[in-house]
């Protein structure tokens, strides 16, 4: 019992270590951090629009609320200062014939309310600017213009955050595992991808990157070395008709980095396969990228995906997502090298020709030499 628990604990730590080593999570988030960056953080304020869009919702809403409350309170103070300088406040005991800059401002609270009414254009009609002083007129114009700018920027940022193509990517899903099996007489690595919406992704393109640690002939160790992985479907990998789930595959030939891997050794490899799907959202014409990754434990050798599309009696096509990531064991060569050697051996056998008229006669060798 103790040995069993120890093995489970060891395997859990091993799997946890592998999860920590994953660069791209299953939902496409990148696990990377930057350290000792020499540039100042103020460079992010130069591109303030992108910085605001990249913020999380809790920070964005904090900035949204603070921007409006801060501007209302700041201009409320300015309106209070104008009323104080012009001696419109009740503590100055203005005369009956006194015309204030802003009517019905009796303190800081009423100045704040007038600032709010001005900037959001409520217009209750109880407080209003008079023509008595030019300072109040200038402050009214300045607050109105600045209020429009704040409104446009913050509301535009909220709308852009909601309509980002990143949210469209959440309705594109990849299979939990990748499989390796024969397809069309070739050994292939297969991945299933599905579009959960009926709207299409226009100009979709699928490709992959294999991330691994390599050592150059000069002895340099390159961490996260990237190798291109070409994925295709039967109809080509450009402009996919992405209305139903597709099975994309990578042919494991002599140029593939998977060529020297085998069923017995793939779990001992240290790599991460990152798969990308680029396309244009049909509704908004915004570009969209979906990505996921597979580590060796998620690549099943000798399996294929279960069927997922069927046709009903009514003539409709039905997609059963219960079998989306389901796999079925199939007979598969344990390595690509063995499959190609088998094909070469069969090709050499076909190069020979049989001659039906050829008769093999036995010849007895006798010696005519006499001593």
- Smallest CA-to-CA distance from 159 within 35, 12, 52, 266 is with 52
pLDDT at residue 31, rounded to an integer: 77
Domain ranges of the chain: 39-163, 168-349
pLDDT at residue 77, rounded to an integer: 95
Most confidently modeled range among 41-45, 335-339, 347-351: 335-339
CATH number among 3.40.630.30, 1.10.1040.10, 1.10.287.70, 3.10.580.10, domain 39-163 = 1.10.287.70
Q: Give the confidence band of 337 by pLDDT, cuts at 50, 70, 90.
A: confident
| Neighbour-count burial of 118, counting CB atoms closer than 10 A to its CB (0-12 exposed, 13-18 middle, 19+ buried) | buried
Beta-bridge partner residues of 188: 181, 251
Predicted confidence (pLDDT) per residue in 216-238, tens digit: 788 788 888 888 999 888 655 55
In terms of pLDDT, which residue wins out, 336 or 303? 303
Stated as kind and residue range, the H or E segment containing 15 is helix 2-21
Token pair listed for 186: 């070739």
Q: Between the CA of residue 316 and those of 138, 165, 241, 310, what are the distances in Å?
A: 68, 30, 18, 8
Stated as kind and residue range, the H or E segment containing 294 is strand 287-294
Q: Give the confidence band of 108 by pLDDT, cuts at 50, 70, 90.
A: very high
Strand extents, DSSP E, 40-159 = none
Stated as kind and residue range, the H or E segment containing 48 is helix 48-54
CATH topology classification for 168-349? Immunoglobulin-like (2.60.40)
Predicted confidence (pLDDT) per residue in 234-268, tens digit: 655 556 777 788 888 999 988 888 988 888 888 88
Mean pLDDT score, 15-32: 69
On the question of a common fold for 39-163 and 168-349, the answer reads no
CA distance 108 to 101: 15
88, 105 contact by CB (below 8 A): yes
Most confidently modeled range among 46-60, 137-151, 260-274, 342-356: 137-151
Predicted confidence (pLDDT) per residue in 76-91, tens digit: 999 999 999 999 898 8
CA 136-140-145 angle, to 5 degrees, is: 150
């Amino acid at each position: 019992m103790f040995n069993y628990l120890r093995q489970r604990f060891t395997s859990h730590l091993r799997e946890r270590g592998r999860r920590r080593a994953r660069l791209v999570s299953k939902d496409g988030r990148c696990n990377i951090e930057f350290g000792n960056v020499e540039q100042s953080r103020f460079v992010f304020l130069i591109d303030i629009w992108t910085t605001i869009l990249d913020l999380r919702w809790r920070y964005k809403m904090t900035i949204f609320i603070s921007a409006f409350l801060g501007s209302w309170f700041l201009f409320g103070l300015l309106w209070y200062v104008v009323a104080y300088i012009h001696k419109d406040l009740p503590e100055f005991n203005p005369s009956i014939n006194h015309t204030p800059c802003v009517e019905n401002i009796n303190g800081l609270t009423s100045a704040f309310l007038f600032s709010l009414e001005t900037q959001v254009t409520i217009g209750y009609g109880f407080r209003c600017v008079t023509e008595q002083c030019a300072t109040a007129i200038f402050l009214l114009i300045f607050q109105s213009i600045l209020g429009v700018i704040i409104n446009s920027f913050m509301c535009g940022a909220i709308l852009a955050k909601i309509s980002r193509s990143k949210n469209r990517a959440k309705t594109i899903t990849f299979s939990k595992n990748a499989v390796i099996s024969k397809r069309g007489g070739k050994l292939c690595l297969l991945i299933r991808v599905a579009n959960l919406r009926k709207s299409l992704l226009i100009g979709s393109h699928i490709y992959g990157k294999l991330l691994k640690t390599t050592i150059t002939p000069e002895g340099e160790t390159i961490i996260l070395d990237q190798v291109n992985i070409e994925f295709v479907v039967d109809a080509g990998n450009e402009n996919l008709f992405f209305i139903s789930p597709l099975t994309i595959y990578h042919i494991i030939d002599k140029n593939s980095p998977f060529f020297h891997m085998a069923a017995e050794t793939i779990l001992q490899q240290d790599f991460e396969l990152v798969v990308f799907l680029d396309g244009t959202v049909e509704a908004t014409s915004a570009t969209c990228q979906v990505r996921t990754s597979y580590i060796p434990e998620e690549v099943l050798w000798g399996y294929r995906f279960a069927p997922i599309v069927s046709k009903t009696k009514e003539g409709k096509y039905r997609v059963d997502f219960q079998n989306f990531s389901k796999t079925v064991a199939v007979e598969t060569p344990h390595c690509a090298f063995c499959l190609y050697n088998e094909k070469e051996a069969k090709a050499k056998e076909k190069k020979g020709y049989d001659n039906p008229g050829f008769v093999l006669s036995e010849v007895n060798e006798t010696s005519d030499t006499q001593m």
